Structure 1
Amino acid sequence: MVLQGQKIYHNALIAGGLAFVTFGWDAGVLGGILLTPEFQGAMELIEHPSTTVVSMITSVFLLASWLGCIIVSCFGMFIGRRAWIILGCATQIVGTIISASSYGYGQLIAGRVLIGIGNGFCTSMVPIFVAEMAIITSKRGQGVNAMIGFASLGTAFAYWVDFGMVFAHNTQAVWRFPVAFQIVWSALTILFLYWSPDTPRYLYAKDQVAEGDALLERLYEKALDEPVVIQAKKDILASLELERTATAGLRIRDFFWDTSDMQAARRIRTGVILVGVAYLMGIDMIFYYTTTIFQVYIGLAPLTASGLAGACTTILAITNFTGVVFMEKLGRRTWLIAGAVGQTIFIAAFTGLLSSPGHATGAAAAAMLFCWIAIFGPTWGPVTYVYASEIMPLRYRHIGFALSVSSQWLMAFLTVFAGPIAIADTNVGWKTWIWFLVFNAIAGPYIYYCCPETRGRSLEEIDLIFMSERLQDTAAAKQLEHDLVPEASVGDTESGNESAVPEKGA
């Protein structure tokens, strides 16, 4: 079966979505089984309870995901986007088999290391794969946004499966079945990717021009000499030419103040900070320990806590997909700034209520948590991925986006490992949430001052936002300006260019 036209993009969406269901499944599945007697017995936590061991079981996946991203950033161009995703899924399947058969936390941790490395491969490459397959600019943000929607759907599925398994007492299936089921999502991802080609931008970047030409013809379902196909090819080649004529390499100093022609280091730095801040807001702390938060810190009954945990993840999935529908109605900056303001209000209320324990304040705190999740769902959850995948230059896209996602996993590891230990400390307790409040509060100003708008531009046109004045009169730059009109945007203080940023015409 040879896919043609939009079927190629839709197949990429399905495959990428399934890969992100796997990511979400892992975030949800442990959160619902950590407190079950069957899991704690198998992991020897009943006889020897240890907050540190529990934190390591949950968070080692995040640290391993960071390692997977670093591997991709170093070797991402050696094999294609598609191949990295397949390799990631295969690695996850091996790790899941080891995890589901564990009779001790050492084996479980080893399995979760493999799952994490595979997840790092997938989360580094899936958004790039989906974005580069989108030939309709207005659909690109929705497609990448949908990946986070699928991740939250996976989390919701996992929590509801955990909730159902609560009723299966005195059997190891309570936790082994949910953990093992992750294999299904990885296997389905590989199945759908079997029918997908790699992306045309990757092929051109590797100087596989004939293959790139053939794939563009398949994507557009038009001959190579058709105007729309010619324009797409010229734009990609012009972008590559600009990157090759720009200041050579990535210089360390440019990551602090970038004066290069295409500002590749600044773009990578922006993605790293943006995604890192999103995961210092508390989302992983919330979803890895949702049941524990409701049961231990808020004081709800186990069954109620498990049901509310499932409801939380369901709300995240619903709001993620709501964001997909309305993604292109507002600019990236608008989504992120509005989200930061709303999240700050609700996390502040949540933190304040936790400082005064009680049944009434506990219920109110749960409500604030629901509201925070509902705002994070369509804003900082997916839009950071969309933005980071868009702003990276083609030659360094695998490096920039992999490093951006690696910052997510590193920050998530920090919060998931250290968070429970801090909360368990009577001298810290509820004050731990002030840490997350700070990052919710600083996020809005960072977007306002440091992140220019990218909505409505092709991946190649985004280069025009960051290029130096020296390159603006080159033939390659003029090629990318073929259908652009001026529109005011954020000043580019590092390049010294505060002129209007081109925006694609309606």
Structure 2
Amino acid sequence: MPTTIRPTLVLWGVRMGFMSYGWDAGVLGGVLLTPAFQSAMKAPDATTTAMIVASFLLASWLGCCIAASPWSDTVGRRIWVVAGAAVQIVGTIISASSYSVGQLIAGRVFIGIGNGFVVSQGPVYVAETTGTVKQRGPLVGILMGFACAGTACAYWIDFGFTYATGQVVWRLPVAMQIIWSLLAVVLTYPNADSPRWYFLHNRPDEGKLVLQQMYGDNTLAEKVAVEIQTELKQEVGEKLRFSDFFVDKSETKAATRIRDGVLLVGVAYLMGINMIFYYMTTIFQVYIGLAPTTASICSGAATTLLAIGSFVGSIFCEKGGRRKWLLWGSALQSVFMIAFVALLAVGTKAASSAAAAMLFGWILVFSPTWAPLPYIYISETMPLRHRHTGVGLGMSAQWLMAFLTVYAGPIGFEKVGWKIWVWFAVFNVLGFPYVYFFLRESRGRSLEHMNALYNEKLAVGSGSLSPDEGSVIQEGVVEEKV
């Protein structure tokens, strides 16, 4: 295993993995209704189309569960990202060469499993190799910005290929996902694993070596090492018990932290984002009534807005704190989603155009709040010994809820029409009381001080970093500008 780490390479490697995730989320949405795709897949009905799209999501859930399993932590954060991107490449080749629904679903299952590996361990890898508290949140949140950028790029590429003819209309956009997965492998592989993973596996010398490279200051690196080792001592002997997920009696509240993270991500992905992501063109064209070209342009514009908003929210997430961003997001999203549902219920052409505007408003709010913040929150609040499990289970909740909405969505459209959106409106509203009553503010704390957030008796003692040391950017450590 390499013993040299370059945080900037780690950042860009994981970002390319998320770019691949976003690309997959957008690429099929723009080609599902094209004659070339319909011809190759023998004009699939709504249920079959839903399974083609949603198979990726269910496989991503499986990939997250594998990465969250107790034995998975033995291989490290880095290997999961590299292995996931490699599996995605295999799946993309199968998908792009598909001439049947079964082959396409098989390819998307491979892509999904690989994606589960990347998105469950990538944020952990970035959080644990970021040298400063103030940059940790933005750098993790920006991962979702890259996922949204991947979706936007895919939709614009799809739009461009609508002017082409033949099977290239959908096969080439699907095949282009290989670019992002390959970059993820090339950029991530040369790096060492995170220093916290080395300490967790009783390899302190390697952990200290990586910390020294991250900080460029042996004294500061030694202080961080002491904090990591203190945190591990606090968590010694604590095991996850099923009963703790309901009434947590442990000192570090590990089960509570995992439960809160899983529910946070689950609620976020029951708000409707994946329905909008995967069926954007179909929503504009079929359910709002726009012309095909106009629907494609609106889809590209909406996903571009989502990407820009995710970057903005990530960059400024340190202002106000995690809870305020989530609370304001839930409140404003509820207004836009309820208005969207009401206008769809009216059903007139003018009301449909207004509904499209409400959907853009919802995206404008969701993108800087509930898009990046759940990733940030779960990557920093999980206890070190169970961080891979906690983040993995949190991300598995994302994919399970996404599968539920994406698979049930088209079927629901056929059965109950606009009323399917009431489901999403309910969860936009529920997000507010959940955050207000259950989540704690994690902004401004180092990863080694998170235990004290849940139990003040576990505050790191002597030898810990001062507030100034915890937020100083050492020259040459984290060069990434956010």
2:308 to 315, 318, 325: 318
Correspondence list, 1:333-352, <5 A? 333-352=323-342
CA distance 1:480–1:439, shift in 2 (3 Å): farther
Correspondence list, 1:272-291, <5 A? 272-291=262-281
CA distance 1:157–1:3, shift in 2 (3 Å): farther
1:43-97 Cα offsets, whole Å, 9 max, x none, are: 111xxx4110000000010000000000011132120101110000010000000
Report whether the alignment pairs 1:128 with 2:124. Answer: yes
Report whether the alignment pairs 1:235 with 2:227. Answer: yes
1:23 to 17, 21, 24: 21
Report whether the alignment pairs 1:147 with 2:143. Answer: yes
Specify the alignment match of 1:215 in structure 2: 210
Question: How far off is 1:3 after superposition?
Answer: 10
Specify the alignment match of 1:495 in structure 2: none
Specify the alignment match of 1:39 in structure 2: 37
Specify the alignment match of 1:306 in structure 2: 296
1:200 to 177, 195, 198: 195
Equivalent pair of 2:63/2:113 in contact (CA under 8 Å): yes
CA distance 1:417–1:480, shift in 2 (3 Å): farther
TM-score, normalised on structure 1?
A: 0.90
Report whether the alignment pairs 1:464 with 2:452. Answer: yes
Specify the alignment match of 1:437 in structure 2: 425
Equivalent position amino acid for 1:127 in 2 = P
Question: How far off is 1:38 after superposition?
Answer: 0.4
Specify the alignment match of 2:167 in structure 1: 172
Specify the alignment match of 2:480 in structure 1: none
CA distance 1:11–1:201, shift in 2 (3 Å): same
Separation in 1 of the partners of 2:115 and 2:250? 33
Separation in 1 of the partners of 2:419 and 2:93? 39
3-state SS, counterpart of residue 328 of structure 1? coil
3-state SS, counterpart of residue 252 of structure 2? coil
Equivalent pair of 1:24/1:152 in contact (CA under 8 Å): yes
1:288-333 Cα offsets, whole Å, 9 max, x none, are: 0000000000111011101100000000011111112212112000
Equivalent position amino acid for 1:233 in 2 = A
Question: How far off is 1:352 after superposition?
Answer: 0.3
Deviates more, 1:330-339 or 1:190-199: 190-199
Equivalent position amino acid for 2:202 in 1 = D
CA distance 1:27–1:58, shift in 2 (3 Å): same
TM-score, normalised on structure 2?
A: 0.95
Q: More helix by proportion, 1 or 2?
A: 2
Q: Unaligned stretches of 5+ in structure 2?
A: 473-482
Equivalent position amino acid for 1:89 in 2 = A
Q: Which has the higher contact order (CA 8 A, sep 6+)?
A: 2
Report whether the alignment pairs 1:390 with 2:390. Answer: no
Query: How many residue pairs end up in the alignment?
Result: 469
Equivalent position amino acid for 2:437 in 1 = Y
CA distance 1:479–1:402, shift in 2 (3 Å): farther
Equivalent pair of 1:238/1:480 in contact (CA under 8 Å): no
Specify the alignment match of 1:451 in structure 2: 439
Equivalent position amino acid for 1:240 in 2 = L
Report whether the alignment pairs 1:114 with 2:97. Answer: no
Equivalent pair of 1:280/1:412 in contact (CA under 8 Å): yes
Question: How far off is 1:124 after superposition?
Answer: 0.4
RMSD of aligned Cα (Å): 1.7
